[in-house]
Amino acid sequence: MAEAELLCIGGYSDNDRAALDRDFAPRWLGGVDEIEGLPKADRDVIRAIAFKGHGTLGANQMDALPNLGLIANYGVGYDAIDVAAASERDIKVTNTPDVLNDDVADLAVAMLLAQSRRIVQGSDWVRSGTWAKQGEMALNRKVSGGRAGIVGLGRIGREIADRLAAFKMQIHYHSRSEKDVPDGWVYHADPVSLASAVDYLVVALVGGPETMGYVNAEAISALGPDGVIVNISRGTTIDEAAMLDALENGRLRGAALDVFLNEPDIDKRFMALDNVLLQPHQGSGTVETRAAMGQLQRDNIANFLAGRELVTPVN
């Protein structure tokens, strides 16, 4: 492989950066906005992009790289990439699915438990000395035996549902079509019907224009004042303003969120709420899973440059 046939964009860990340097001797950029500023001779030799970023990788950037054939995304979600534009230009897109399913599902369940059982507040109660001074903290809420609704029963959604079933929960779900599921799981044709039937609404949708605001104000209202939202998908999949209004006004009991609009500079209204558990978009954030994601991204790049079949193609 000729030097700099690979362009790497985004904030990679030291280990992933070292592995990319070792395997591909790439050119590094901080963001997609720097692509068009490269000299034409440098742009002309780029055949693949290793992408780990939140900026939009669109048609203009693709057109600036006339020999681009692959965009290898780091992560299962690829909504920052204009896949339609890539397909029009015969550019393949890959992602890193499956290797992160367990971690994301684990975090979704952990957030639900932590929000309902007020784990963070309990830790603070002890650390601050309040327990010793004031005694027991206020009672929290039971999770086992409740009714859980999964919005998007794909790979990750199914892992979440399987875990919640072990907590003796009734499982309801919404997907584009009915799935092959255990007896007793209930399909709903739309998110409003789903929300009206459950106590906990767990959002596990893919991001992108098709799911923008998918859990809308009507669905949030249908969940009701004793409902809890858990979101491990994308901030865009929920009407965030409607959710904040409901949380502030007592029309929603709580939320546990790993994703937001405008990350990491999220809406300051969240900071004033004690009924919301906040996480820094770390669903796949374990040493083991991030290593597996990096390896899968590199495998896709290596296969493309060698003319072999891609491991996890998107288009």
The b-or-e profile of 86-119 (16+ CB within 10 A means b, else e) is beeeebbbbbbbebbbbbbbbbbbbbbbbbbebe
Strand-pair partners of 94: 72, 313
**Which residues are CB-contacts of 127 (< 8 A; sequence separation ≥ 6)?**
none
Catalytic positions, written as ranges = 234, 263, 281
Residue 184: count of CB within 10 angstroms of its CB: 8
Rounded to 10 deg, the angle between the 287-305 and 14-24 helix axes is 20
| Phi/psi-derived region of residue 297, left when phi > 0, alpha when psi is between -120 and 50, beta in every other case | alpha
